[in-house]
Amino acid sequence: MFEDEKAYHCIMLLDEHGDDGLHIEAEGFDYPRLSMFVPDAALIYERYKTSEAELKLHDMIKDTVEKIAELAHTARRTSHRLI
């Protein structure tokens, strides 16, 4: 959370069962210093959420990392058997 010349950057919490939410700003504190009720906050989230292309890239990276970890684990098991 921070403030620049254009805006306050904060956390937005969405209602799990509705469309409303809260904006919370707590920069430097362990509690919310400023908060604001936001009706229809889900619309804001939908507008700025991750794009389909970004989600696909994220999935590709995740799959690659999992494959590397699997290969590393398999190689470790194989090298132990050779010793």
Query: pLDDT at position 39, please?
Result: 94
Would you say 1 and 27 are in contact if contact means Cβ atoms under 8 Å apart? yes
**14/31 same-domain check:** yes
Residue 12's pLDDT band (boundaries 50, 70, 90)? Answer: confident
**10/23 same-domain check:** yes
pLDDT tops 90 at residue 7: no
**28/44 same-domain check:** yes
Would you say 40 and 11 are in contact if contact means Cβ atoms under 8 Å apart? no
Which of 12-16, 23-27, 60-64, 72-76 has the highest mean predicted lDDT (pLDDT)?
Answer: 60-64
Model's pTM, two decimal places? Answer: 0.47
Alpha-carbon distance of 51 to 24, in angstroms, equals: 24
Whose structure tokens read 């494959």?
Answer: 67
Number of domains in the chain: 2
**24/45 same-domain check:** yes
Would you say 44 and 29 are in contact if contact means Cβ atoms under 8 Å apart? no
Query: pLDDT at position 64, please?
Result: 93
**54/28 same-domain check:** no
Q: Domain of 81?
A: 50-83
